[in-house]
Amino acid sequence: MDEQISFTLNVNGHKHEIQSAWLGESLLFVLRERLNLWGTKNACEQGECGSCSVLIDGRLCCSCLEMAAAAVGTDILTIEGLAPNGDLSDIQEAFVEEGGVQCGFCTPGMVVAVHDLLEANPSPSSLEIREALSGNLCRCTGYGRIEAAVRRVVEARHG
């Protein structure tokens, strides 16, 4: 708390000045408390739940485990950046249609993780879906409808 620094972060294509931050602030904290990007959630703050998932230079990360100051110079994509004009992505649409959302707490992180999965693997098997998303906890759905949402996207994208 004693050593204060200022730096610039590139989030969802916009530059944000971070003034007088403590060096140790996590990216999750900065996104939420300093930039008011509340879509990135905080169920554990120790890398276990995935609700804070963001993409840093296209790499899926738990923002609670990343130091904000270390993310200078990267491109950070949060849930707010996935549907910037209010149009839902096909993944977001599928979550709504298939019932993949209940309380919605895990949803932003889960959507970011699905986005990452389908970038890397456009037609995952059931096992690959389960493996790839096993770092994102959901306590409400039992994952069945979320898997259905992912399949729906895969099928639609392959015509």
Partner 1 sequence: MADLADKVVAGARTRPDGKVKVTGGFAVSSDLHMEDMLWGATLRSPHASARIVSIDVSKAELVPGIVAVMTSKDLPAKPTYGLLHADQPVLASDVVRFEGDPVAIVAGENLEACRRALRAIEVIYEVLDPVTDPELAEISPPVHPDGNLFRRVVITSGDPEIQGEIIVEGVYEVGMQDQAFLGPESGLAVPDGKGGIDLYVATQGPHQDHRQLAPCLGLEPEAVRVQVAGVGGAFGGREDFSVHPHACILALKTNRPVKMSYLRNESFVGHLHRHPARMRFRHHATRAGDLVKVEAQILLDGGAYASTSAFVASNAARFACGPYKVPNAHVVATCVRTNNHPCGAMRGFGAVQACFGHESQMDKLAAALDMDPLQLRLRNAMQTGDRLPTGQVVHVPAPVRECLEAAAAFPLPPTAVDNQDGYGLPGGAGRTADPSRVRRGVGFAVGFKNIAYAEGYNDDTRARCLLHQGRATITCAVAELGQGFVTISRQIAKAILGVDEIDLAPASTGLIGSAGSSAASRQTYMSGAAVERVCHEVAARAKQSFAQQHSIDPESLLVDGGFIVSKDGSIRIPIAHACPEPIEVEVYHMHPPTAPMDERTGQGDTDVSWLFGAQRAVVDVDLDLGLVRVVQITTGQDVGRALNPVSVVGQIEGGISQGMGLAVMEEVISVNGLVKNPSFTDYLIPTFADMPPVEVSFIEEPEAGAPFGAKGVGETPSLASTAAVAAAIRAATGLDLPRVPIRPEDIVFAASAKPLSAPQFT
Q: Which long-range contacts does 110-114 make (Cβ < 8 Å, 24+ apart)?
A: 110/50, 110/53, 110/136, 110/138, 110/146, 111/79, 111/82, 112/53, 112/54, 112/55, 112/60, 112/77, 112/78, 112/79, 112/82, 113/50, 113/53, 113/60, 114/146, 114/149, 114/150, 114/153
Beta bridge partners of 18: 7
Q: Which is nearer to partner 1, 6 or 73 (CB)?
A: 6
Please state the closest distance from residue 75 (CB atom) to partner 1, in A.
18
Please state the closest distance from residue 97 (CB atom) to partner 1, in A.
6
Please state the closest distance from residue 135 (CB atom) to ligand FES, in A.
8
Interaction mask 27-66, ligand FES, x per CB under 6 A: ---------------xxxx-xxxxxx---------x-x--
Residues within the interface to partner 1 (CB under 8 A): 1, 22, 32, 36-46, 48-49, 51, 78-80, 82-83, 86, 88, 92-93, 95-99, 101-108, 111, 126-127, 129-131, 133-147
